[in-house]
Amino acid sequence: SQDIANPFTYTVSHSRAGGQYVSAGYYNSMNHTDTIQAAVAENKLSKAAVANITQWLKEEKYREYHTELQALIERQDWKTLEDSFFQVIPFGTGGRRGTVGVGSNRINKITIGESAQGLCDYAATQGEAVKQQGIVIAYDTRTTSEEFAQYTARICAANGFKTYLFDGFRTTPQLSFAVRHLGTAAGIVISASHNPPSDNGFKAYWSDGGQVVPPHDKGIMDHVATVQSINITDFDQAVDSGNIIVVGKDVDDAYISAIVKQSVTPGRSVHIVYSPLHGTGIRSVIPTLEHAGFTQVSVVKSQTTPDGTFPTVEGQVPNPEVQAANNLAVAQAKNEGADLAITTDPDADRLGVIVRDTKGEYQFLTGNKIATLICHHVLHNLHEQNKLKSNQFVVKTIVTTDAIDALAKQYGVTSYNNILIGFKYVAELIALKQDQGKEEFLFGGEESHGILQGSYTRDKDAAVAALLIAELASNLKDQGETLVDQLYDIYRQHGLYFEDLASKYYHGASGFEQMNAIMESLRNNPPQELAGQRVVRMIDRKTGQEIDPATKKNIGHNDGTPGNVLIFWLSEDGRSRVTIRPSGTEPKIKAYVQLHIPVAAATNEELVQQEKEAAARAQELAALLL
């Protein structure tokens, strides 16, 4: 058995028993048995962690991590060791994401390699043709992304798949586009999206361009869990032989052209400040705006440098949902008197928007407000152009604003609104409805700043969101109005939809247990009221049951996709509610609040006050469940 860094094709053999690896060889590492057993006796290490640590110390294939692991043991850093080894990092329905480092519960060459091998093993069961179709791989600007992407490409090529690898960092939505454009059987992106600099991940896509969903997600998970050998080949040799094909400009040009075609109006007068927050958006948002004809676009130069440490982003949290992440863009917008400041996360699938209102003040827009504005922009203008048809539809997740439902009803299109959180479910619906020739997809949105217009890609795309919000802002600017004015007009017609999100982190092995305990406690003993307001019903998406909290009796059935999500209705129509779920990508529980308030005759000033009151109410409700 050779070192996994060896440039020649090799096979590492091992087997699993009871979910753990069983050693097939013994590496003569330092004997830390007494130290480890003392930690177990003092409840500083779990048995599961010890089993994984022992395996990593013994087996040859972990050799490059032995020095670091031994140092952790010698320092008796039991907390880090427990968090790093208490489990094998789960390969979830979309892939893996977590902290980079040594350990079975970390992102490293072992967990990335098993992910790639398991995907290849499962894809190969779909027939020999899939190997010729191939797999395309992209990566973001994180410090380990290029290394992991090349490592993944070596594994895919060694397994006989034609392998496409981008010549540099690219956005996640471009990876989704490339799957369809190149006609590959699958796609992989190495990215941790908006997570902290310490993290990275492996996300899998299927031939429709969407993240993997049933049955393929479970098929891949099963194969990853039973990987017994990892095949790998030399990178340069694979490129020279054509087994790895480096792609770039041709795919870029096709991608940008596809985005620009989603434009619905010609307005281009807005002045924009843009920051990619050291991520990949510099290769999608700027080319899109330039090709679409926007001439007043300036970038935050200090944040255009690709840098996975995100050094200039406050708190090193490169998430446009977090207002502080947008600080430099807002400061430059104020200095230039720009109409908009927009930002994107590291893999450029989320868009942040800060707009200057008629008073000259800059207002941060939530993901729900961005979705409402863009959905209205698309539906209203297609209606005006006589391009709306009865078989068209929009999609939103269960925690995204119901304003989208109201807009769909106004313009006579279908709204699919019962899907779980995650844009892969939007992509799945496009495949089920549009790709089967039944209906036509128009717009998809989710509260976490994710937007898709058109079906050129099957993931949320900050570039198309930037295009549409910029042309809407231009249209309004030409009329002497702003995005805020448009939003309040929508509220006066359909009611104020106020949404808020609260989160609480639960780190490490104990945090994982706490999150599960909280969800089960709420599931088994649902609150009958929250902040003095009766809970009309609880919808349990795990069981599909709809429960009356007062009697704990089943009063209905929800036929949506099962998931670990609880929804508490605070009104008979469900438009005021609190939804709670564990995050699928970070160690935290999220509580989503929506409040619906009729405001037909309200002035803008009155709406501002209504939003302040709703915000205080939403925070109170969320705090009761976290």
What are the residue numbers of the active site? 193
Give the HSE-up count for residue 50: Cα atoms under 13 Å, Cβ half-sphere: 15
- Displacement of CA 327 from its chain's centroid (Å): 22
CB 164 within 8 A of CB 245: yes
Integer Cα distance of 42 and 363 in angstroms:
52
Integer Cα distance of 413 and 379 in angstroms:
9
Give the HSE-up count for residue 225: Cα atoms under 13 Å, Cβ half-sphere: 15
Integer Cα distance of 255 and 260 in angstroms:
9
User: If you search the block for the tokens 């006579």, which residue do you land on?
Assistant: 412
User: If you search the block for the tokens 């069983």, which residue do you land on?
Assistant: 22
- CB environment 307-323: b (16+ within 10 A), e (fewer): bbebebbeeebbbbbbe
User: What sign does the CA torsion over 461, 462, 463, 466 have?
Assistant: positive
Integer Cα distance of 291 and 313 in angstroms:
28
CB 626 within 8 A of CB 502: yes
Cis peptide before 587 (omega within 30 of 0): no
CB 341 within 8 A of CB 315: no
Structure tokens at 382: 């297609």
Integer Cα distance of 520 and 110 in angstroms:
33
Integer Cα distance of 231 and 6 in angstroms:
11
Integer Cα distance of 468 and 267 in angstroms:
10
Query: How is 62-93 classified by DSSP, letter by letter?
Result: GGGGHHHHHHHHHTT-HHHHHHHHSSPPP--S
For the chain, how far is it from start to end, CA to CA, in angstroms? 49
Integer Cα distance of 619 and 52 in angstroms:
41
Integer Cα distance of 381 and 148 in angstroms:
44
Which residues lie closer than 8 Å to 303 by C-beta, 6 or more apart?
275, 276, 277, 278, 312, 313, 328, 329
Cα-based distances in Å from 529 to 248, 366, 472, 521, 583? 56, 27, 41, 15, 24
Listed residue (529, 613, 542, 611) closest to 578, CA to CA: 529
Write the single-letter amino acid at 429. L
Integer Cα distance of 81 and 509 in angstroms:
11
Integer Cα distance of 566 and 564 in angstroms:
7
Strands 392-397, 15-17: pairing kind: unpaired
